[in-house]
Structures are given as C-alpha cells and as structure tokens.
Amino acid sequence: MEFFLKSFLTLFVVMDPVGLVPIFLALAGDKPPERQLRIARKAVLVAGGILGVFFFFGRGLLGYLGISLEALRVAGGILLFRIATEMVFAQHERETQEEKDEALSRADISVFPLAIPLLVGPGALASVLVLGAEAQGVAWGGFVVLLTAALVLALAYLLMRFALSVRRVLGRTGVNVVTRVLGILLAALAVQFVADGVKALL
C-alpha cells in the first residue's frame, strides 16, 4: 500500500490532471462536446501508450546509452523540482508560447500538446522509470506502477470530460490553489529522488 500511494502521488502531481483543465478549455473549449470527448479519449490513450512503452523498454534504452538508474534518479529529481517550482508559482511552462500558438491552429490537439508534453512530459517519463526501478523490490511492483498510471490517466480523462463543471466549481483561483499544494508535495518527492540517487552513486 505504501508503494501504491507513493507511485500514485508521484504520477498525479507530475501529470497534474487538475492543472490540465484550464489548458484543455483554452484549446478545445470552443469545440462541440462530442469532439471534446474524442480529443480527451485520444489524448489519454496516446499518453498511456507512451508511458507503457517507456516503462517496458526505457531501462533497455538507458543501458544502451550507458546511463545508470541512480543517475536517472538524480536527473529526474532535479527535473521534477523545476516542475514543482513552476506549479507552486502557478507558472505552467510545460510548453513554449510557440507550441501554444501551434496547438491553437491545429485541427487535432489530442496528441500535441495534450498527450505530449502536457500529460506525458520528461518528468512523467523519468518518474515511470524511477518507480519501475523501485518496483523490483516490491511484490507486484510493476503492476502497481502501471495501475497507478492508468488511474491518473482515467482521472485526467474525467476532468477533461467535465472540464466546464470543474472550472465552475473550483474557479481559476481554486485550480491554482490545488496546483500549488501538489507542487509542494512534488518538490518534497523530487528532493527525496535526488537524495536516494546521490546516496546510491556514492
């Protein structure tokens, strides 16, 4: 249960499905409800596929490149800490202004930018690999990581599906408050990742 909670919390705060709501509304809020559902469903399926591929084959890629899991843990922790500081100060910079402009002009926004990089960015990929490494010492650990990833993606789909209702309930201020709280938790997890990685390297 402890590893389940750690895995779920890590992926939830990294992927930040609550913070995705205003971005989804900005990109797809003017489209018919049926089109919004198709966009949300495709984005979640693509993101899930990417996470699954990286979970199963990411370690092999690291081995081919000569990168240790400890080094990835440190790098992932630093990256997650940067994301956490952006979340705390409500500065979502997971995509550049040029990417935002391109997204607004694209007919299909489900793959880019929703699936990549908003749902599955470098932080999520690094987290999946780090959690996958830790899962080796836990019974059914790999299944737990995949299950928590699926749960977070399911929550992301539900939040996008009911995006208008979520925005009315929370408001922009409410979304920022939730994002900041998650950012603080993510910062603590990032520091722990770095500490564990440095300890293993030394």
Q: pLDDT, tens digit, for every residue of 34-84?
A: 899 999 999 999 999 999 999 999 888 888 888 887 887 788 788 878 877
Give the up-direction half-sphere exposure of residue 74: CA atoms within 13 A in the CB hemisphere.
Answer: 11
Q: Are 162 and 24 in contact (CB under 8 A)?
A: no
- For residue 136 the two structure tokens come to 């080796």
- How far apart are the C-alpha atoms of 116 and 98, rounded to whole Å? 15
What mean pLDDT is predicted for residues 146-150?
97
Which of the four pLDDT bands, split at 50, 70 and 90, describes residue 149? very high
Asked if the model's pLDDT at residue 182 lies above 80, the reply is no
Over residues 9-34, the mean pLDDT reads 84
CA atoms within 13 Å, Cβ hemisphere of 167: 15
The pair of structure tokens assigned to 41 is 């469903």
Whole-number pLDDT of residue 91: 61
Report pLDDT digits (tens) over 14-24.
Answer: 898 988 888 78
Q: pTM value?
A: 0.75
- Between CA 83 and CA 127 the distance in angstroms is 12
Match 């080796």 to its residue by tokens.
Answer: 136
Q: Give tens-digit pLDDT for 87-146.
A: 788 665 455 555 555 555 555 789 887 898 789 887 888 899 989 988 988 989 999 999
CA gap 81, 87 in Å, rounded: 10
The reported pLDDT for the residue numbered 106 is 53
152 pLDDT tier (thresholds 50, 70, 90): very high
Interacting residues of 23 by C-beta distance below 8 A, sequence separation 6+: 92, 118
Give strand ranges (E) for 153-200: none
